[in-house]
């Protein structure tokens, strides 16, 4: 059985390797990540992970793994910032507040059936000063990241508390991923 990672994220690949899963190939899924009207953060992140897994062709001896991560402040989904102004808005929303980092994993097994797991991590940011927001925006690190921050980088200094999966906030909850791979009969190295 061969593992296909439906993601070009270097963070997801690194997290997979940490648990002894070496993809035979990596493929870039092309899916619509726009939030649908009335879609909750949980439903959104699970739908996108499932869509990503289905978007990659699967050979007869292959299983496909995909993931998606989003940040939710209440029912509001913070996707990737569109520009620096959007990033500033997001950091302002996160400042001094708790939020949820939802990370969904989908695995399509040899039987063609999609199985999913969801990690919900509560993250609390310190109250951010304008100077801290300016510094982080200038670093460029938050662009292209769900919620506008990378916990494995400079933004870790903003985290006052975390309850849940650190790897889920990075982009792939390894506990849930390992369980899905084991249930599919994939042998970890």
| Token pair recorded at residue 87 | 């990033």
68 as an active site residue: the answer is yes
Cβ–Cβ under 8 Å, residues 104 and 89: no
Query: What is the β-pairing status of strands 159-163 and 114-125?
Result: antiparallel
Which residue blocks in the chain are alpha helix, DSSP H?
10-18, 41-54, 84-94, 130-139, 166-170, 174-183
CA distance 72 to 101: 6
Q: Which residues partner with 117 through β-bridges?
A: 105
CA-wise closest residue to 35 among 23, 43, 26: 43
Give me the sign of the Cα torsion angle 12, 86, 159, 132.
positive
- Please tell me which residue in 32, 34, 61, 68 is annotated as part of the active site: 68
Active site residues: 68
């Amino acid at each position: 059985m061969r593992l296909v990672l439906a993601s070009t994220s270097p963070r997801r690949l690194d997290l997979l390797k940490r648990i002894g899963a070496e993809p035979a190939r990596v493929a870039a899924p092309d899916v619509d990540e726009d939030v649908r009207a009335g879609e909750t953060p949980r439903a959104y992140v699970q739908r996108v992970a499932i869509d990503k897994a289905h978007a990659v062709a699967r050979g007869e001896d292959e299983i496909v793994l995909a993931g998606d991560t989003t940040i939710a402040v209440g029912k509001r989904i913070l996707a990737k910032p569109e520009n620096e102004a959007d990033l500033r808005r997001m950091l302002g929303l996160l400042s001094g507040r708790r939020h949820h980092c939802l990370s969904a994993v989908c695995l399509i097994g040899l039987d063609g059936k999609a199985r999913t797991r969801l990690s919900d991590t509560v993250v609390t940011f310190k109250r951010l000063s304008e100077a801290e927001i300016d510094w982080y925006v200038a670093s460029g690190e938050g662009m292209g990241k769900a919620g506008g921050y990378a916990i494995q980088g400079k933004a870790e200094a903003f985290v006052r508390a975390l309850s849940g999966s650190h790897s889920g906030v990075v982009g792939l909850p390894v506990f849930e991923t390992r369980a899905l791979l084991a249930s599919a009969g994939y042998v970890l190295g």
